[in-house]
Chains A and B, each alone.
Chain A
């Protein structure tokens, strides 16, 4: 790394080297039994330079040829974007725990055992369920070094376990599932199995629903599949700077329900999306995005912050082998005060949405969501009566989240990137094949 930085400093005014490596051990189960063991090792080195005021970028997995890497970066710099930022010098980082050596020392045999016992517990409830499962551990390492003396270096551990079950009756297919992840080992399977068996129970019968504007409750999973993508795009500083986000210019405006608060937080100990600094070496922080319905802040990396006349929120992320770009770490929606059962009791005819497919394929940038209800239940006179099929829900987050009937009192982590309670919308368009 030092060698690359040194070579790059000779070729350009500023340089930054980013090294990420990981060692992952996935254990995979198929059709209710162990199917494969894997070891995946990877390493990637990227170089960003500022030459004559322009950004150049190159990445490689070949650590043995630093000259070639520098040359590629120099070649791209002649076309590169004008650098509006300065690389950070040495920074103070918050105390964020993301490494637990316990994860590394878990034996593969124990992971196999854990996966088997998860499938066994769920199949105790429903023996005909055909399960796929996965248990994964990972150790990652990140190093950042730049020409202004900035430096970061941390280890991260990761553990995840998930299950997906398929239940088939004639041509009717029911998919249930749940996953959990952490920087620490996961050993308690109660919550995972509880969610899956509850999904099976609620879906035991099928029910038909009217094509109409109906009250809709999104479970935490449902919130993820309908709202996460449009929210993540709307608060992305890049979209805001370009004016492509519908929220551009709306800072300080009351656009959402007054009970709705949303923030981004990369500083919670042992959460998979946490870290002490972002991929540009800027300190991680907690950033309010919606405060009691008011648009508070947007997420920026160095370049977009400079373009917006704002400060980086420590949101510079690099997808494998690419330039940093702002993105969410973990989004958190504040709990309200209504129990889920109470929301259901309130509904005469309506829908509970657990999972949508295709909701992220329409005009997500414009806030639209429109998806097929892969898993969702009809509510009739205050009770869940069965699973709906061939049903679509459509809406726009700027209408749907403007006035809510209620927000759930129990938040839950979904997929390591969202912590949310259930959200109850008064009216959304439901279309169904009767």
Chain B
């Protein structure tokens, strides 16, 4: 399809009157397997082909998405008409040198070519482990993989083809006793390599045992505590508490927010460094070019505790007088790109786990995640596992807890950063109607003073 498509795209873009136009065409192939209980509940395959046109005139945007690729030129004209109706100012759009490149997918990574039988027999093994655990009520195992080819072209002469792969899985165990229902789960993913799906037997067994153990775990009294976060949950914290605030589309047209988020503002101690970047290879948020054809980067958001950067699209970068960072991403062809995170993490420090826990009199050790959410200022994130810490020792398992904080004080309350960075590749990120977008996040173990923990 490529040659003909390329020709159609260049014809459609010819002699159009707009400040900027881009066309994105996507072809996707996906498969999905879901077990509920002992039975395989759903196995399905899905193919799609679709595209969109986005046009910019005098600061106003037009956007047209479609499944039917015929009449591309008319679709461009419609987007141009829409943009003209909206635009009343001057377009701000960071200049980027045109790129013509076909990015070859990495060899040996094509999850959609692995036969369903092979995927299924592995999931069967894990389900067997779950069901051999007493008091398990049911299990939910979902697995999905997708490969998509994206063609991007714009009115500045860029033409980029990229192939993107994604695999994600969630293995959840539900235990029940009387009316009480508890869950424990495992969320993992990769940017195409099926290997991570193998050898999860021990982790699955532990999740099953944990779900059962939660039935007899005590409730937790809410309040302010010193907490230690494991790398997985600290990664979710980084994403929710600070990452979303770094997305400039939230900031760039709000003068008050620009004052708050001024570069140079101190957010945490000198040991705190937070980074985001799609240029870091091999992770679920990795890519070469974003959905505006901008080369990916690695961006320091916080360096030595001070705000030094943020995530940009071409429009937000120009409006804030900064450089684009290659963070404009669209979930799929049905949506325009917006500013998103990619791979976000706290860089490792020097404190060992033992030192971190050692001087806590009463606190909570929180691990693993259920989810997280932010309103920019206040955020919450929930732990899959929580343990009491008393006199420097990790003690009994508690019911799952939700943690909450205020970004303008919480980062300052981080008083220890571990030496053991780990990346979390499970789940996905939601923003607006665009969810779940593949991202990764990570951190070493961190300790936080005065964290608000919900409980009853």
Contacts and interface: CB of A to CB of B under 8 A. Distances in A.
Interface of A: 30-31, 33-44, 56-62, 68, 72-73, 75-76, 79-82, 108-109, 130, 166, 168, 170-173, 175, 211, 238, 242-246, 321-323, 357-358, 360-363, 365-368, 370-372, 374, 389-390, 392-396, 398, 428-429, 431-433
Contact of A358 (B37, B66, B371): B371
A243 B140 CA distance: 12
Q: Which 8 pairs between the two chains have the least Cβ-Cβ distance?
A: A358-B380, A431-B222, A361-B371, A31-B253, A429-B456, A37-B82, A36-B61, A392-B454
Band of interface residues on B: 35 or more
B382 A242 contact: no
Contacts, number: 251
A374 B379 CA distance: 9
A35 B371 contact: no
Interface string B374-397: 111111111000000000000000
A202 to B, nearest CB: 17
Contact of B402 (A37, A108, A361, A365): A361
B123 to A, nearest CB: 10
B354 interface: no
B379 to A, nearest CB: 7
B45 A76 contact: yes
Given A34-B60, A361-B402, A372 B42 contact: no
A75 B223 CA distance: 54
A57 B67 contact: no
A395 B374 CA distance: 20
A361 B382 CA distance: 6
A56 B42 CA distance: 8
A322 B434 CA distance: 18
B330 interface: no
A321 B42 CA distance: 13
Interface in B70-108: 78, 82-83, 85-86, 88
A389 B183 contact: no
A409 B402 CA distance: 32
A130 B253 CA distance: 9
A168 B260 contact: yes
Contacts of B88: 33-34
Among B45, B120, B254, B256, chain A packs the most CB atoms within 10 A around the CB of: B45
Contact of B116 (A76, A168, A360, A395): A76
A38 B181 contact: no
Given A173-B375, A242-B137, A244-B137, A39 B64 contact: yes
A79 B120 contact: yes
Nearest to B184: A363
A1 to B, nearest CB: 15
A128 B49 CA distance: 44
Interface in B105-148: 116-117, 120, 137-138
Nearest to A167: B256
A56 B44 CA distance: 7
B131 to A, nearest CB: 13
